[in-house]
Amino acid sequence: ICYLLEKDKEALDYTSKAIELNPDLAEACFQKAKILMCLNAPDKALMPLRKAIEISRDYSIKAIMDPDFKNYDTEVQRLLDEMRTEAQKVAQEALADAEDQIENITKIDMGGRFNFKFFYGDEIKTVTSEMAKATHSFRSDTLYGYLDTIPFRNKALDCLFQALMRFKEEFVA
């Protein structure tokens, strides 16, 4: 309400208090960024905007569409590019790590008497499918694509580790 009444300093105080009470309240972070943009403080606005986007990526679109951010398109785009680059690095490392783990686990062969790939072929198909989704998402070369890479990768590894746990139980038995 303070923002709408053009009481920007009060609005900033209330928004800051809301963030203090709940640092993961994306809307409060976004509103703080919005108010700081109105106050011609884009450098200060980028940190709460980043936080809002990290909590809920939809705020990246909201920022691009919001008129209060229009005068600072360059700064907002720079932030989004920086976040995309960071997400790319995380996703790339996660994919490489997953590929190493998958290779190490799927090549388990107990002296010709047991072959992991043979006994857990259905799980391997799921792992392969999820990794294909992760790779496809990664190749989109977008912030959202890089962010989506991680859940696909995690699903693939979860499936693989469940099969590995079953293998351990069955092998011990």
Dump pLDDT digits (tens) for 27-73. Answer: 999 999 999 999 999 999 999 999 999 999 999 999 999 999 999 99
149: which residues sit within 8 A by CB, 6+ positions away?
Answer: 91, 94, 95, 134, 135, 137, 138
Q: 115 pairs with which residues across the strands?
A: 109
Classify residue 6 by burial, with Cβ atoms within 10 Å: 0-12, 13-18, 19+.
exposed
Classify residue 155 by burial, with Cβ atoms within 10 Å: 0-12, 13-18, 19+.
middle
Instruction: Give the per-residue pLDDT at 114.
Output: 63
Express as a percent the part of the chain with pLDDT over 70: 92
Residue 111 has pLDDT above 80, yes or no: no
Q: Specify the residue for token string 């229009």.
A: 70
Q: Kindly indicate the confidence band of residue 102, based on its pLDDT and cuts at 50, 70 and 90.
A: confident
pTM of the full predicted structure? 0.83
